Amino acid sequence: MSTPGAYFRLVRIGWVLAREGVFSAIPSEHLPPSARLAQKLVSLLARRKARFEERSGRLARAVERLGPSYVKIGQFLATRPDVVGAEIAADLSLLQDRMETFPHHAAKAAIEDSLGRSVEALFVEFSEPLAAASIAQVHHAIVMRDGRRERVAVKVIRPGVRQRFAADIEAMYLVSRMQERFLAYTRRLKPVEVTRTLEQTTKIEMDLRLEAAALSELAENTKEDSGFRVPRVDWERTGRDVVTMEWIDGIKMSDIAGLKAAGYDLDRLAETLIQSLLRHTLRDGFFHADMHQGNLFVDEAGHIVAVDMGIVGRLGKKERRFLAEILYGFITRDYQRVADVHFEAGYVPSHHDAASFAQAIRAIGEPIHGQPAETISMAKLLTLLFEVTELFDMQTRPELVMLQKTMVVVEGVARTLNPRFNMWRASEPVVGKWIRDNLGPKRVVSDLRDGLHAALRVAEAVPEIAARTERFSNDIMAMSEKGLRFDAATAEAIGKAEARHTRSGRVALWVIAAALVYIAWRLV
């Protein structure tokens, strides 16, 4: 059940959106007459200045007015064009995660509460905040390590952000439940589940120890890779509310002029960026899901350094094979294979016709083969693919949508470095190697090895399974011979409850108790 506070926040959201002219910017040609009338009435509430702004500017301004929690929600929804639509996702991607900094003393208090030591004992120097985002802000600091002064970046959680987010997410749940109830065609997108994913990912992002762990994992995965790295984590000065890491002296990848002036090979940087993302995705199944230009630097050695790993994505072996096979199918124009992969993975319901689905896939692939390689967008291909699968009731795959969104962003960065960058030529060494290693004879060996491991785990569990089966059988026999029996505490509790209720209430309690006992037996 939603609390009155959730309805109040929903009204506030509507008011801010109306004042910023967001509702009036929605195309009205497909709206029913009643909705068009409501849109005209609500548009009267818009500020005069807002009526003349670009539509994307209106939405971004409204979300920023709502506060840090909603900026984070907007950034998450920008990664889900399958849920909010491509246009709204593009508008939300313009959100600037730059907030007012919070006081220096509040940051010091958060660090000391999290680490149990004073800031003076942890750092030789600790600066005023350099920049603040919706969840945290960053400080520059100096630590002593092996008798040397070392520069570090200290990221500190925003005070009270967890409490505000917990209250704001309740309004999101209310919206998603209303969406599922009144907009039947959106149930395929699972809006409540999307909100639950948002809640979970943001809770993870608000525990800075987990961001540190993500940095550590990616560093371990890429230690043998050339041209890409992440900052080193200072675990001694890292806790739930603070993460300390290596200070990166480098040029942001958004500074094209600066990169050129420093003599970096922009084509090589673009190639390294794309290959790194594909390598992390296909080889490791773990990737940085927020690789926009503001989070990417080039250090003195020419390495791309990715920071801010609050958002990460994971793909299992099944999803990695799915991704590689559909890319390979498009490259070889084997559209039937692309269709078959969707059905084999269970992503498209079996009642649909595979040949018809292959025809829809061909409609995507053939126009691409008629274009120059440097104009073909892998991210656009995946976007079109997800649009077509909607016609065939493909269930939303959040991990694949997150990857598709990440590819859009990374591809955009690469094309900024080189507008004629050939995505397919750069991707071939990574995708080709993975396909040879995982979709050829080596796949059979890998599957056999995985199957053997699974069989061994089952064999190890056989004694416990047998013991549980025997106990369950004995319980069933005892129940058939003696009926249901409760321990003294359970019987007393049921008796007291029975005395407080009417006859219908007593029957209900016994039914519930019997169901609980049955469930307990099933779990034993």
Please name which of 130, 72, 79 lies closest in space to residue 96, comparing C-alpha atoms.
Answer: 72
Rounded Cα distance, 372 and 482, in Å: 79
Known catalytic residue at 290: yes
Asked if 394 contacts 347 with a C-beta cutoff of 8 angstroms, the reply is yes
Contacts of 351 (CB under 8 A, 6+ apart): none
Q: Which helix (H) or strand (E) holds 66?
A: helix 55-66
Alpha helix stretches (DSSP H) within 147-265: 161-182, 191-205, 208-221, 256-261
Selected catalytic residue, list 91, 290, 308, 447: 290
Burial classification of residue 209, based on how many CB atoms lie within 10 Å of its CB (0-12 exposed, 13-18 middle, 19 or more buried)? middle
Cβ count near 400 (within 10 Å): 21
Quick one: how far is CA 19 from the chain centroid? 30
Asked if 153 contacts 223 with a C-beta cutoff of 8 angstroms, the reply is no
Quick one: how far is CA 141 from the chain centroid? 30
Sequence letter at residue 72: K
Quick one: how far is CA 144 from the chain centroid? 36
Question: Quick one: tokens of 132?
Answer: 């603040």
Asked if 173 contacts 6 with a C-beta cutoff of 8 angstroms, the reply is yes
Asked if 385 contacts 326 with a C-beta cutoff of 8 angstroms, the reply is yes
Asked if 393 contacts 420 with a C-beta cutoff of 8 angstroms, the reply is no
Please name which of 321, 351, 317 lies closest in space to residue 337, comparing C-alpha atoms.
Answer: 321
Q: Which helix (H) or strand (E) holds 437?
A: helix 423-438
Please name which of 397, 381, 221, 196 lies closest in space to residue 309, comparing C-alpha atoms.
Answer: 221
Asked if 114 contacts 241 with a C-beta cutoff of 8 angstroms, the reply is yes
Please name which of 76, 77, 5, 18 lies closest in space to residue 50, comparing C-alpha atoms.
Answer: 18
* φ/ψ (deg, to 5) at 255: -90, 75
Burial classification of residue 74, based on how many CB atoms lie within 10 Å of its CB (0-12 exposed, 13-18 middle, 19 or more buried)? buried
**Which sequence positions are flagged as catalytic?**
290
